DNA sequence: CATCTCGCAACAACAAAAGTTTCGAATTCC
DNA sequence: GGAATTCGAAACTTTTGTTGTTGCGAGATG
């Protein structure tokens, strides 16, 4: 099963964007992510719709953050990219009326529910500012390491 | 992202198999799951290799449980079908050297690690006998409901 | 020896993310 | 006003992994 990397990528991009002046174009971001501008627009459209980004057309246009990182949580970004399912394992519904299937799915469901609750709590508790701080700490330890294109 | 339903299906099948006499053929199981015998053999091969099932060829052959349900946990079955990834969301590794990416992936990774730990603990703590008991309780409440093909 | 049944390999179908192409429309610069 | 920049959106292809299918072989039973 292919893993959805949008959340990871968006978090990465947003922290970089906070460190640069002016707008970042879809092209620049795409190069940074090793992808292409259309994919960037597609993914970031959700963040714009949810009010975390603003996009501007034309010369000097591109994407800009509209909120401080301290006001954006990892959960916010997950929601903004469309609340994709966390789990790759699902329950079968071949016989919804079958009591065995119901018992199995109830057990599986409650396990996944608890795990999802934990994930959501954790995601809601971490702001992008926290991640930026974590970056600064790593930076302090290993002084002159490169980051990536956008922040060079 | 397509959800992997093998775990759910195998749990379902094993509990039914415990309630019937003799062997269940791949064909019977396939009909019960709404799939086909080759898929059944493919999935159940792992359970056989791990010692939970035995398969026999020829007339009267098929699949039989080789252990009591009380000695099989949900985690055992997850392992037996190949330890498929629990999560549909992954981390991007576009710039392994980028400290921002490292900070992001560290936060994501620790969240998923904690959630996975919870899942594994839960799965390890529930035996198929527990699920069968749960089934019996449901059965007691709603008396004359059908189950599925195998147990009719 | 005919039939049943699993084992295995190869291939097709399908789903979802990711990548690509190609428009159009809005904005800025000259 | 015209050229260049940049996003927006639709349509399509590629990719990856599960699921489904077909076909043949081998062992077991009657």
Question: What is the residue-averaged pLDDT of chain A?
Answer: 90
User: Is the CB of residue A145 inside 7 Å of nucleic acid strand C?
Assistant: no
Cβ neighbours of residue B117 closer than 8 Å, sequence gap 6 or more: none
**B32 contacts on A by Cβ (under 8 Å):** 94-95
Indicate if the pLDDT at residue A75 is higher than 70.
yes
Quick one: pLDDT at residue A95?
Answer: 83
Flag residues 17-56 of B with CB < 7 Å from strand C.
Answer: 23-27, 37-38, 41, 44-45, 48, 55-56
Contacts B76 to A, Cβ<8 Å: none
Say whether the CB atom of B55 is under 7 angstroms from strand D. no
ipTM of the complex as predicted: 0.86
The pLDDT value given to residue B144:
58
Can you give the pLDDT at residue A53? 96
Asked if the Cβ of residue A58 lies within 7 A of any atom of strand D, the reply is yes
Q: What is the pLDDT of residues B41-93, one digit of tens each?
A: 999 999 999 999 999 999 999 999 999 999 999 999 999 999 999 999 999 88
Among the partner-chain residues A8, A91, A98, the one whose CB lies closest to the CB of B5 is: A91
Mutate: best of A18, A80, A86, A92, partner B, most B CBs <10 A: A92
- Measure B57 CA to nearest chain A CA, in Å: 27
Contacts of A87 in chain B (CB under 8 A): 3, 86-88
Reported as a single tens digit per residue, the pLDDT across B86-99 is 999 999 888 888 89
Where do the H-state alpha helices sit in A1-152?
Answer: 6-17, 26-33, 37-49, 74-80, 99-125, 128-141
A2 burial via Cβ count (<10 Å: 0-12, 13-18, 19+): exposed
Is there contact between A59 and strand C, defined as CB under 7 Å from any strand atom? yes
Query: In 3-state terms, what secondary structure has residue B36?
Result: coil
Q: Are A69 and A15 in contact (CB under 8 A)?
A: yes
Q: Dump pLDDT digits (tens) for A118-152.
A: 999 999 999 999 999 999 998 888 765 555 545 44
Q: Which of residues 103-132 of B touch strand D (CB under 7 A)?
A: none
Q: How far is CA B22 from CA A73, A106, A107, B103, in A?
A: 55, 28, 27, 56
Local confidence band at B40 (pLDDT 50, 70, 90 cut-offs)? very high
- Which DSSP symbol is given to A22? S
Residue A54 has pLDDT above 60, yes or no: yes
**Domains contained in chain B, CATH given:** 6-151 (1.10.10.10)
Q: Which pLDDT score is estimated for A97?
A: 84
CA distance A59 to B76: 59
B138, A100 Cβ separation under 8 angstroms: no
Residues A47/A78, Cβ–Cβ less than 8 Å: no
* Adjacent-strand bridge partners of B127: B73
CA distance B75 to B19: 21
| Share of residues in chain B with pLDDT > 70 (%) | 93
Mean pLDDT of B28-50: 93
Nucleotides on strand D with an atom closer than 7 A to protein CB?
Answer: 4-11, 15-23, 26-30
């Amino acid at each position: 099963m292919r893993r959805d990397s949008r959340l990871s990528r968006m978090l990465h991009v947003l922290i970089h964007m906070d460190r640069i002046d002016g707008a970042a174009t879809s092209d620049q971001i795409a190069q940074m992510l090793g992808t292409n501008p259309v994919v960037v627009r597609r993914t970031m459209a959700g963040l714009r719709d949810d009010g975390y980004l603003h996009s501007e057309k034309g010369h000097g246009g591109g994407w800009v953050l509209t909120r401080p990182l301290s006001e954006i949580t990892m959960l916010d970004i997950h929601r903004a990219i469309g609340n994709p399912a966390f789990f790759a394992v699902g329950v079968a519904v071949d016989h919804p009326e079958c009591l065995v299937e119901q018992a199995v799915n109830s057990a599986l469901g409650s396990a996944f529910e608890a795990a999802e609750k934990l994930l959501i709590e954790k995601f809601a508790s971490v702001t992008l500012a926290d991640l930026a701080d974590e970056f600064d700490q790593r930076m302090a330890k290993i002084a002159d390491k490169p980051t990536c294109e956008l922040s060079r």
